[in-house]
Structure 1
């Protein structure tokens, strides 16, 4: 419960910080009229929308399983991340549109020093907060929070490029460079959006847990199945912070239901120690169902 409440608090804080950074970047664009800074501010609007979607998804994912969704609401965060990815791509398209206009009708930005300082300050805030989101998102296994952090890191990279490029605009007087920078920012955002959607679709498609966790699961089963014959058809999937594990456990045909149940209880207890938020299903079978594959215990 403590981790859950912390995740919700992080999502709410992310929205507040997103609004602050958006205000700073809009101010920087208003002072300079730079197309590149406009694109940067537009990306911050996406950050705010991302934070809102993440907050809703995290809150929804906390709901307990019910008759309608007996496996829980954990996948809500994956839907959130897909929405974020689509929003990122829409923002990139809008930025490319503005970059084209800026390239065809270039203008030198105004108030260079003030705009650069304000944008740099906003970027420092984003950098610090992005690190917090990525770290906490992975710790809580929250796809929505981690996606928010990854997008903020993309925003940081984009803004640094914009700031360096604008400095060159002022030094060289090449006004069209401003629009070129905006286009590069848009391409970077497109790549980020694709990455967020790709990872989220994997979760929606019930992708297996990473190889290192799979190995841990197999080792735990092998080391705690004394009395059984083998374990086969081991399957895993990830849904938000939940890890679903199911497999078939073959036991001697003469073994009592009570003894077989005790073996299952022991395996489940050890799996929950090794894998956080594990949901485990074990199908017990008699020895004539053995496949002589998977994890051979005896």
Structure 2
């Protein structure tokens, strides 16, 4: 990620703090004017957004610190920690909602000022929908797990809000107040599922998961097309760490090849891989043809005559 990308990610993380406070305020206001347990559940989920926005801002700043003597590969994985914490907070919010909803099942309340409350919640939902789209797009573009996780969580908040709005319209239309706490429980189940997805994606990153198949295919194509002069490539390995992707493989060359010629092939391969996968950190082990190959092989395309 270049300096422009880093600055963009930090700015988005900073703007997430006041926006999350604003949305939470609107949702809690909607609950206050209606007394709806479902709207309260929606508002409680937004409190997680506030905490997550603060965590994401500070963690992203830390993750962008350059490598140092004690963290020689950088601080990229710190973003996964932010995403894990956010996932845990989502689960906690869901459990709080369940507690409130179960308490209301035995004594469902008729909603006060439902039209005003729903209008306020619609405004908060629209803000969240736009912001989630911005975060997810930027998170993917700049390979920021923290921004992506925040965007997906806010997007799940939008889905939750839409479900709540539809359910409360039914409550008002039918007069069945019991639908309100039932709806809140259904909302909590969806929030639990979203929390699990955020946690599982983050743990995969912490465990050095390989890049996805499409990215790996692009890397293999770049190698196969630009490894002319070598005898092949094997033992290709990849791993993702926040905004960074690490690529490691063995390059087999003729035993009599000069070091300078082998180095030129490595330079060509590094440029090609970075063109296909910007920001990749590449380590190439050059070995003579007498070495026994092992691991994943990448066939070199022969130059057409």
Q: TM-score range with shorter-chain normalisation?
A: over 0.9
Say whether residues 1:63 and 2:65 are aligned partners: yes
Deviation at residue 290 of structure 1 after TM alignment:
4.2
Give the Cα–Cα distance (whole angstroms) in 1 for the partners of residues 299 and 174 of structure 2: 71
Q: CA RMSD in A?
A: 1.2
Give the Cα–Cα distance (whole angstroms) in 2 for the partners of residues 296 and 272 of structure 1: 19
In structure 2, what is the equivalent of residue 137 of structure 1?
Answer: 139
In structure 2, what is the equivalent of residue 169 of structure 1?
Answer: 171
Give the Cα–Cα distance (whole angstroms) in 2 for the partners of residues 173 and 213 of structure 1: 53
In structure 2, what is the equivalent of residue 152 of structure 1?
Answer: 154
Pairing 1:208-287 to 2, within 5 Å after superposition = 208-287=210-289
Which structure 1 residue ranges, 4+ long, deviate > 2 Å from structure 2? 290-293, 295-298
Give the Cα–Cα distance (whole angstroms) in 1 for the partners of residues 260 and 194 of structure 2: 53
Gapped runs of 5+ residues in structure 1? Answer: none
Gapped runs of 5+ residues in structure 2? Answer: none
In structure 1, what is the equivalent of residue 209 of structure 2?
Answer: 207
- CA deviations over 1:2-55 (Å, ceiling 9, x no partner): 111001101111111111001111111111111111101100101111111111
3-state DSSP of counterpart to 1:238: strand
3-state DSSP of counterpart to 1:284: strand
Say whether residues 1:29 and 2:17 are aligned partners: no
* More divergent stretch after superposition (80-89 vs 287-296): 287-296
Give the Cα–Cα distance (whole angstroms) in 1 for the partners of residues 76 and 200 of structure 2: 18
In structure 1, what is the equivalent of residue 298 of structure 2?
Answer: 295
Give the Cα–Cα distance (whole angstroms) in 2 for the partners of residues 175 and 291 of structure 1: 70
How many residues are paired up?
298
Give the Cα–Cα distance (whole angstroms) in 1 for the partners of residues 173 and 268 of structure 2: 70
3-state DSSP of counterpart to 2:251: strand
- CA deviations over 1:112-140 (Å, ceiling 9, x no partner): 11111111111111111111111111111
With normalisation by structure 2, the TM-score equals: 0.95
3-state DSSP of counterpart to 2:204: helix
Give the Cα–Cα distance (whole angstroms) in 1 for the partners of residues 50 and 189 of structure 2: 20
